[in-house]
């Protein structure tokens, strides 16, 4: 279970979904995840960049670094052959690459911090789409499923609607739900944020897709953690 969410929080979100669906034919799916991607490729990219910086520094001031190595190793101004210089460059680049890679593998917040915003937004959207296709898309009779997806580490959320809803409701309409959710998230109230989004989404669904007398609950109301 994600640390920010207790069993009581799960129950509150599920109750909000149940209540919202009482007035509409829409089926709301709520998903929260600690993070949407491992960003290992970003770690590799930064490690390669640091290695290249080390090589650039060695190329710009070779005498300084060779003298530094001589002092560290206790050498006496030895003559460096081209092969030895290339070997030094290889060792330095390798150590810098592996050192940065280990740091980013161990300290996830730094890896996330070094990930560009557009990359994080793209990965969150891609993961949300995957979750939507698995958990909501075309899984209701009238194709009225909608996903509210929250990725905590990236501080990003997505609302994705199934075919029937998307045909009637423009994507920007969900802006109020996003605003309501993020307002609570900034204060660290994850469950309250999800509940606020559910209420806003439910109000829109009730307007465009009122509940029929024979409507049944086709998707689970519980909050899903992935």
CA distance 10 to 178: 19
Residue 2 lies in a domain: no
Going across the sheet that includes 27-33, the strands are: 156-161, 145-151, 27-33, 223-225
Q: Are 70 and 152 part of one and the same domain? A: no
Q: Are 180 and 84 part of one and the same domain? A: no
CA distance 160 to 136: 9
The pLDDT value given to residue 138: 79
Indicate the residue among 113, 144, 167 that finishes a domain. 113
Question: Which tops the pLDDT comparison, 79 or 60?
Answer: 60
Question: Does the pLDDT at position 94 exceed 90?
Answer: yes
Residue 63 lies in a domain: yes
What pLDDT digit, counting tens, does each position of 183-196 carry?
898 888 999 999 99
The pLDDT value given to residue 77: 59
Enter the DSSP assignment of 79: P
Within the chain, strands assigned E span: 27-33, 145-151, 156-161, 223-225
Q: How confident is the model at residue 156 (pLDDT cuts 50, 70, 90)?
A: very high
Give the residue-averaged pLDDT of 81-100.
Answer: 87
Question: Which tops the pLDDT comparison, 171 or 98?
Answer: 98
Which residue, chain included where needed, has tokens 């959710």? 181
Q: Are 208 and 152 part of one and the same domain? A: yes
The pLDDT value given to residue 78: 66
Whole-angstrom Cα Rg for the chain: 26
State what percent of residues in the chain have pLDDT above 70.
96
Q: Are 145 and 169 part of one and the same domain? A: yes
Q: Which structural domain, as residue segments, surrounds residue 214?
A: 7-37+115-225
What pLDDT digit, counting tens, does each position of 104-135 carry?
999 999 999 999 999 999 999 999 999 999 88
Indicate the residue among 65, 80, 113 that finishes a domain. 113
Q: How confident is the model at residue 5 (pLDDT cuts 50, 70, 90)?
A: confident
Q: How many domains does the chain have?
A: 2
Residue 78 lies in a domain: yes
| C-beta atoms surrounding 24 within 10 Å | 24
What pLDDT digit, counting tens, does each position of 23-73 carry?
998 899 999 999 999 999 999 999 999 999 999 988 888 777 777 777 776
Indicate the residue among 113, 143, 159 that finishes a domain. 113
CA distance 165 to 177: 15
Q: Who's near 195: CB < 8 A, 6+ residues apart?
A: 12, 13, 16
CA dihedral 112, 114, 120, 123 (to 10 degrees): -80
Residue 179 lies in a domain: yes
CA distance 42 to 94: 18
Q: How confident is the model at residue 80 (pLDDT cuts 50, 70, 90)?
A: confident
Q: Are 80 and 163 part of one and the same domain? A: no
Whole-model pTM: value is: 0.85
CA distance 25 to 142: 8
What is the CATH number for 31?
3.10.310.50
Give the lowest-confidence range in 11-15, 37-41, 220-224. 220-224
Burial 95-112 (b: 16+ CB within 10 A, else e): ebbeebbeebeeeeeebb
């Amino acid at each position: 279970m994600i640390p920010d969410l207790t069993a009581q929080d799960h129950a509150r979100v599920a109750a909000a979904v149940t209540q919202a669906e009482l007035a509409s034919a829409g089926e709301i799916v709520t998903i929260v995840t600690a993070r949407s991607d491992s960003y290992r490729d970003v770690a590799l990219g930064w490690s390669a960049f640091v290695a290249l910086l080390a090589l650039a520094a060695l190329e710009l001031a070779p005498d300084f670094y060779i003298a530094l190595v001589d002092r560290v190793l206790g050498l006496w101004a030895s003559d460096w052959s081209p092969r030895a210089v290339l070997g030094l460059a290889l060792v330095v680049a390798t150590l810098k690459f592996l050192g940065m890679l280990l740091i980013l593998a161990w300290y996830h917040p730094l890896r996330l911090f070094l990930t560009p915003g557009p990359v994080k937004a793209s990965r969150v959207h891609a993961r949300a789409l995957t979750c939507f296709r698995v958990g909501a898309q075309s899984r209701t009779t009238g194709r009225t499923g909608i996903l509210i997806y929250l990725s905590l580490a990236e501080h990003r959320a997505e609302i994705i609607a199934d075919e029937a809803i998307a045909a009637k409701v423009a994507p920007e309409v969900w802006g109020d739900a996003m605003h309501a959710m993020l307002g609570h998230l900034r204060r660290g109230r994850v469950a309250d944020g999800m509940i606020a989004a559910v209420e806003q989404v439910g109000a829109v669904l009730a307007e465009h897709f009122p509940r029929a007398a024979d409507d049944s609950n086709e998707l689970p109301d519980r909050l899903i953690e992935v």
